[in-house]
């Protein structure tokens, strides 16, 4: 007896224990699919069979209406050429190449949301990468709708995969910050980098370009690197007294506060590797530069700053993200307030 809950899919186990799977809609010839049921190979075959695609991936880019053809068309758009950053363009280009190796031959007009969920399910062991792929495909399908290649964007309303670590990089604890400060004293480049992050809340892509030219009357004025071509965030951050004191005693570069051992500005990736080494040297584990950005948000919440105020200082445009970062700090503050009231009531 055939067994399967997937529409038009029949699964058989032979007398020798071999799994055999066929796709057969009513009135059509059956198509053999690769086993086991639910494997990435199965979903690839099922997607090709259910969309009626027989095109070979090697010629997909020349087949009008295929996914690879659409991506090539999208790369001629203003969005791809000028509205996203170079780093994003490079990363998405690599994502599109990998996607097209598997699915570039599919015909766009036949792709339904259920097919994208099947692709998502097949790659569910890497949720973060899969969510990023779906994010990268959104402008491609938006381009297809805008240019009347398809009538509806199948990605609209799709839910993300839940990550294995929903909180992402964790914020530094007070004890961890104290340990870093004890190891790297004032006047060291490592301490300067740490203080820049914990007192500005900026991403490493901004930390590496900040310098004296951005100072205006004890304010830092600059445009954040992320989203500078699409949704620029023009920042004005006060130089807190704690940061001013560190800057005054730290060696800095001419154009950027932080420079490499060769006197050149850091790249964002180079800074990430260098700062990770600084963390390792202190004996700390499980923390990162991005976790300091979260710690900045938490410290602001402990100081009773509002969510909007924290977002303005750190350059977040997603208030829900700020609330996620500061949730634990606000709970701790509320608990301390309750404890204080109880102590006052016992007097």
- How does pLDDT run across 159-200, given as a tens digit for each residue? 999 876 656 678 899 999 999 999 999 999 999 999 999 999
pLDDT (average), residues 203-220:
95
Are 228 and 341 in a shared domain?
yes
Are 131 and 18 in a shared domain?
yes
pLDDT (average), residues 193-208:
96
Are 124 and 180 in a shared domain?
no
pLDDT digits (tens, 9 = 90+) for 58-85: 455 568 899 999 999 999 999 999 888 8
- What CA–CA distance (Å, rounded) separates 297 from 325? 7
Q: How confident is the model at residue 55 (pLDDT cuts 50, 70, 90)?
A: very low
Are 220 and 321 in a shared domain?
yes
Number of structural domains, the chain?
2
pLDDT at position 22 is: 87
pLDDT at position 113 is: 95
Q: What b/e readout covers 311-337, taking b as 16+ CB neighbours within 10 angstroms?
A: bbbbbbeeeeebbebbeebeeebeeee
pLDDT (average), residues 217-222:
95
- The enclosing H or E element of 78 equals helix 78-82
Question: Residue 257 is part of a domain; what is its CATH number?
Answer: 1.10.443.10
Provide the domain limits for residue 21.
9-146
Are 141 and 190 in a shared domain?
no
Are 181 and 123 in a shared domain?
no
Are 129 and 182 in a shared domain?
no
Are 287 and 340 in a shared domain?
yes
pLDDT at position 229 is: 78
Q: Could you tell me if residue 162 is inside a domain?
A: no
Q: Could you tell me if residue 163 is inside a domain?
A: no
pLDDT digits (tens, 9 = 90+) for 135-144: 999 999 999 9
pLDDT (average), residues 218-229:
90
Q: Could you tell me if residue 335 is inside a domain?
A: yes
Q: Could you tell me if residue 156 is inside a domain?
A: no
Q: Could you tell me if residue 1 is inside a domain?
A: no
pTM above 0.85, yes or no: no
pLDDT (average), residues 89-100:
94
Are 207 and 307 in a shared domain?
yes
Q: How confident is the model at residue 1 (pLDDT cuts 50, 70, 90)?
A: low
Mode of pairing for the β-strands spanning 234-238 and 219-223: antiparallel
The DSSP bridge partners found for residue 237 are 220
**Is the confidence at residue 304, as pLDDT, over 90?**
no
The DSSP bridge partners found for residue 20 are 12
> Within the chain, how many helices (H) and strands (E) appear?
14, 5
Q: Could you tell me if residue 65 is inside a domain?
A: yes
Q: Could you tell me if residue 99 is inside a domain?
A: yes
Q: Could you tell me if residue 200 is inside a domain?
A: yes
Are 113 and 182 in a shared domain?
no
Which residues 6+ apart lie within 8 Å of 132 measured at CB?
95
Are 200 and 90 in a shared domain?
no
pLDDT at position 18 is: 81
Are 123 and 225 in a shared domain?
no
pLDDT at position 198 is: 95
Point out the least confidently predicted range of 28-32, 248-252, 269-273. Answer: 28-32
């Amino acid at each position: 007896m055939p067994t399967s809950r997937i529409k038009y899919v029949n699964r058989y186990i032979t007398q020798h224990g071999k799994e055999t799977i066929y796709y057969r809609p009513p009135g059509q010839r059956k198509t053999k699919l690769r086993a086991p049921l639910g494997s990435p190979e199965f979903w690839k075959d099922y997607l090709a069979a259910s969309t009626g695609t027989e095109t070979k991936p090697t010629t997909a880019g020349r087949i009008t209406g295929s996914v690879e053809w659409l991506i090539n068309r999208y790369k001629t758009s203003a969005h791809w050429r000028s509205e996203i950053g170079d780093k994003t363009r490079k990363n998405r280009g690599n994502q599109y190449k990998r996607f097209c190796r598997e699915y570039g031959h599919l015909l766009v007009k036949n792709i339904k949301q259920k097919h994208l969920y099947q692709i998502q399910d097949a790659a569910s062991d890497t949720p973060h990468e899969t969510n990023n792929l779906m994010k990268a495909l959104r402008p491609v399908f938006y381009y297809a709708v805008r240019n009347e290649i398809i009538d509806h964007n199948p990605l609209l309303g799709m839910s993300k995969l839940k990550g294995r670590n929903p909180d992402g990089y964790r914020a530094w604890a007070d004890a961890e910050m104290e340990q870093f400060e004890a190891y790297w004293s004032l006047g060291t480049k490592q301490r300067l980098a740490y203080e820049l992050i914990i007192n500005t809340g900026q991403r490493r892509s901004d930390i590496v370009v900040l310098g004296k030219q951005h100072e205006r009357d004890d304010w830092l004025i600059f445009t954040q690197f992320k989203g500078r071509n699409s949704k620029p965030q023009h920042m004005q951050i006060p130089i807190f007294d704690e940061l001013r004191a560190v800057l005054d005693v730290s060696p800095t570069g001419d154009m950027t506060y932080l420079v490499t051992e060769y006197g050149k500005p850091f790249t964002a990736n180079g800074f990430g590797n260098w700062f990770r080494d600084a963390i390792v040297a202190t004996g700390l584990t499980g923390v990162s530069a991005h976790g300091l950005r979260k710690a900045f948000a938490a410290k602001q919440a402990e100081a009773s700053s509002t969510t909007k105020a924290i977002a303005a200082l750190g350059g977040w445009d997603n208030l829900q993200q700020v609330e996620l970062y500061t949730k634990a700090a606000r709970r701790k503050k509320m608990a301390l307030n309750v404890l204080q009231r109880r102590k006052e009531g016992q007097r």
